[in-house]
């Protein structure tokens, strides 16, 4: 096992006995890390926790710039606007909070869902926020004005996740009804329903060209969908049960997946070849997010710490044999 200098300051632990792949560890939450997102410039990382808090981290120094308190329940999702100036967060109550990234000030609240909000995504132009709720709806918001634009109904059970296509012309949603729905966000009409999941859908991510969609869920299968043909082109199995979080590298060549059993897997994309795997025990990895430069990966889980991993080192030290 490799050892390195450990420095503790302002909530940051640099390196340590976990191995060369751990670039830094951010400490500040009291419970499980549930969601992660990098700002577009890569300088700020937002983390949400089961303790209800959201923290803005200065990535270069590791300092917690602001601890955002206001959610009455677990933080379920965080999302930055494309400009990186505003963060949206949601929890297992019905409100969506809007925060000023520079100051940490709460700038607004979106009311409308009946029950928990589980997923968030901003449109590529930053004008629309999509939210997924346990009330079986997807809502589209003019978040700057604080107004609900559209309510998309069709799911027959709780909705867990939403994702915009890179061109903003399609919106995907997935949930407990085991289906993925593709919507036209401009009109709110349903374009297609993708069926084939054996259990509920937990996370979604579009490829950079918008032609493919990656999904994960409770059945442990990561599926690659052809958006135009509306079918699953491939299914990759390595996790034991729920795959809670997905992240596609900025260059589109790596896919990271985090499973409830505590496995973090890096896949060659789009071939689906398993390249590396790390295991940290049940709930050890619950959220993943690539930095905008693709060189590091933020992870979090039951340990209440956010770990920043060197992707190249993970591929080297935990290569799948």
Listed residue (285, 253, 288, 287) closest to 272, CA to CA: 253
pLDDT digits (tens, 9 = 90+) for 39-82: 999 999 999 999 999 999 999 999 999 999 889 889 999 999 99
Q: Is 233 within a domain?
A: yes
Total domains, the chain: 1
What CATH code is carried by the domain that includes residue 146?
2.130.10.10
pTM: 0.92
| 95 inside domain | yes
Query: Does any domain span residue 180?
Result: yes
Contact 49, 34 (CB under 8 A): yes
126: in domain: yes
Range of the domain at 222: 40-50+73-282+311-317
- What pLDDT digit, counting tens, does each position of 240-275 carry? 999 999 999 999 999 999 999 999 999 999 999 999
Say if 62 falls within a structural domain.
Answer: no
Q: Note the pLDDT tens digit of each residue in 125-183.
A: 999 999 999 999 999 999 999 999 999 999 999 999 999 999 999 999 999 999 999 99
Percent of the chain that is helix, strand, coil (3-state, to 5): 0, 50, 45
Query: Which strand ranges, in their side-by-side order, compose the sheet holding 159-164?
Result: 159-164, 171-175, 180-184, 189-194
Q: Is residue 58 part of a domain?
A: no
* Residue 303 within a domain: no
Is 66 a domain residue?
Answer: no
Give the largest Cα separation in the chain, rounded. 56
Whether the Cβ atoms of residue 246 and residue 272 lie closer than 8 Å to each other: no
């Amino acid at each position: 096992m490799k050892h390195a200098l450990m420095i503790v300051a302002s909530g940051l632990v640099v390196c340590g006995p976990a191995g060369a792949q751990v670039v830094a560890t951010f400490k500040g939450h009291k419970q499980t890390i549930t969601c992660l997102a990098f700002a577009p410039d890569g300088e700020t990382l937002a983390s949400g926790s089961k303790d209800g808090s959201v923290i803005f981290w200065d990535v270069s120094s590791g300092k917690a710039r602001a601890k955002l308190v206001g959610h009455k329940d677990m933080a379920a999702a965080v999302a930055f606007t494309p400009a990186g100036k505003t963060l949206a967060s949601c929890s297992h109550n019905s409100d969506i909070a809007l925060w000023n990234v520079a100051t940490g000030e709460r700038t607004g609240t979106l009311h409308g869902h009946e029950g928990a909000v589980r997923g968030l995504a901003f449109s590529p132009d930053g004008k629309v926020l999509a939210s997924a709720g346990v009330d079986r709806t997807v809502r589209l918001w003019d978040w700057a004005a604080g107004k609900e634009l559209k309510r998309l109904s069709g799911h027959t059970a709780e909705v867990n996740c939403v994702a915009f296509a890179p061109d903003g012309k399609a919106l995907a949603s997935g949930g407990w009804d085991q289906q993925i729905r593709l919507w036209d966000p401009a009109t709110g009409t349903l374009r297609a329903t993708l069926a084939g999941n054996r259990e509920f859908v937990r996370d979604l991510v579009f490829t950079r060209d918008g032609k493919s969609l990656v999904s994960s869920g409770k059945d442990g299968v990561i599926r690659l969908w052809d958006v135009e043909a509306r079918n699953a082109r491939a299914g990759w199995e390595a996790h034991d049960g729920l795959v809670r979080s997905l992240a596609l590298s900025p260059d589109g060549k790596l896919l990271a997946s985090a499973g409830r059993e505590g496995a973090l897997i890096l896949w060659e994309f789009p071939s689906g070849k398993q390249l590396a795997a790390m295991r940290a025990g049940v709930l050890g990895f619950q959220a993943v997010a690539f930095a905008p430069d693709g060189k590091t990966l933020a992870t979090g889980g039951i340990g209440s710490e956010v770990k920043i991993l060197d992707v190249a080192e993970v591929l080297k030290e935990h290569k799948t044999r």
